[in-house]
């Protein structure tokens, strides 16, 4: 059984079919790419897979469990985590607290425990701090733990978003244009980090990216979207050499 199975997924906004009849599946521990020109509907796919939009057709299953139509919160609990194309951090909170918010579900105590500072509070907070620092060090952010998220440089903000997503203890990680706005060196470093996350946490990753060096460098298989429809899927190298794909990207 595949880790993620997407079956003829689609959505329309007031008559406009943004994504139509999309199917693909991702195996455990795979690095999978979703590419396509601007406006092809890639982020819309992410939004459906995370419950921000409710699909109007088709289903998707995580480890055989149907998550279609569930709320964003419930899907997060089920094990899908994501980052955003336009970075969405908790900008007025510290870097450490951003990750601790990600740990919200996995390490939990009640509001009253917090207000009354019961012993459980101290134990759980300690566990949270340790876990959060561990994650931050994976992304080389441990020195910035007390910095406000807003004050981090751009590349570090993208990394913090991944760290926060990893804190939710997911089985599937969705990365929406992780290399956007990065220079070649930063992208190179990011590729290493993504591979490390996959190997270290035994993670399955689905990513949207325009940077073809990153896609061909780390994705094992890809799906190409064009005008909301699947153009081609398969082994990254083969797909990228396909005439149709080149045409969709470069125009006629």
Binding interface with another protein (CB under 8 A):
13, 43, 47, 50, 52, 71-73, 76-77, 81-82, 84, 88-93, 97, 100-102, 104-105, 107-109, 111, 113-117, 121, 124, 128, 164-165, 167-168
Q: What is the DSSP letter of 91?
A: T
**Closest distance of CB 241 from another protein, Å:** 33
Nearer to another protein, 77 or 198 (CB): 77
- CA 190: distance to chain centroid? 14
In terms of Cα–Cα distance, which of 27, 24, 14 is closest to 49?
Answer: 24
Taking the least distance from each CB to another protein, the nearer of 170 and 236 is 170
The least CB distance from residue 146 to another protein, in Å, is 9
Q: Would you say 123 or 212 has its CB closer to another protein?
A: 123
Report which secondary-structure segment, H or E, holds 12.
strand 4-13
Closest listed residue to residue 56, CA positions, set 20, 4, 5:
20
Name the percent of the chain in helix, strand, coil, to the closest 5.
Answer: 40, 25, 35
Choice between 128 and 245, CB closer to another protein: 128
Residue 137 Cβ, how far from another protein at the closest point, in Å?
20
């Amino acid at each position: 059984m595949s880790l993620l199975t997407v079956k003829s997924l689609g959505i329309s906004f007031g008559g406009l079919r943004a994504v139509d009849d999309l199917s693909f599946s991702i195996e455990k521990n795979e690095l999978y790419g979703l590419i396509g020109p601007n406006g092809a509907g890639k982020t819309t796919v992410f939004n459906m897979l995370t419950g921000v939009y409710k699909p109007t057709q088709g289903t998707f299953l995580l480890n055989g469990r149907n998550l279609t139509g569930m709320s964003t919160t419930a899907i997060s609990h089920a094990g899908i985590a994501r980052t955003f194309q336009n970075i969405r951090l908790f900008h007025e909170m510290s870097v450490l607290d951003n990750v601790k918010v990600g740990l919200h579900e996995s390490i939990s105590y009640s509001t009253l425990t917090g207000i009354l500072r019961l012993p459980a509070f101290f134990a759980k907070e300690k566990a949270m701090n340790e876990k959060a620092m561990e994650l931050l060090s994976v992304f080389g952010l441990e020195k910035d733990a007390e910095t406000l998220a807003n004050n981090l440089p751009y590349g570090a903000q993208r990394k913090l978003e991944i760290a926060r997503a990893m804190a939710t203890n997911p089985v599937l990680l969705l990365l929406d244009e992780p290399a956007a706005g990065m220079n070649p060196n930063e992208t190179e470093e990011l590729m290493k980090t993504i591979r490390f996350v996959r190997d270290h946490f035994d993670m399955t990753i689905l990513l949207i990216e325009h940077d073809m060096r990153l896609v061909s460098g780390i994705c094992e298989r890809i799906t190409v979207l064009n005008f909301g429809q699947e153009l081609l899927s398969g082994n990254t190298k083969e797909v990228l050499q396909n005439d149709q794909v080149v045409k969709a990207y470069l125009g006629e």
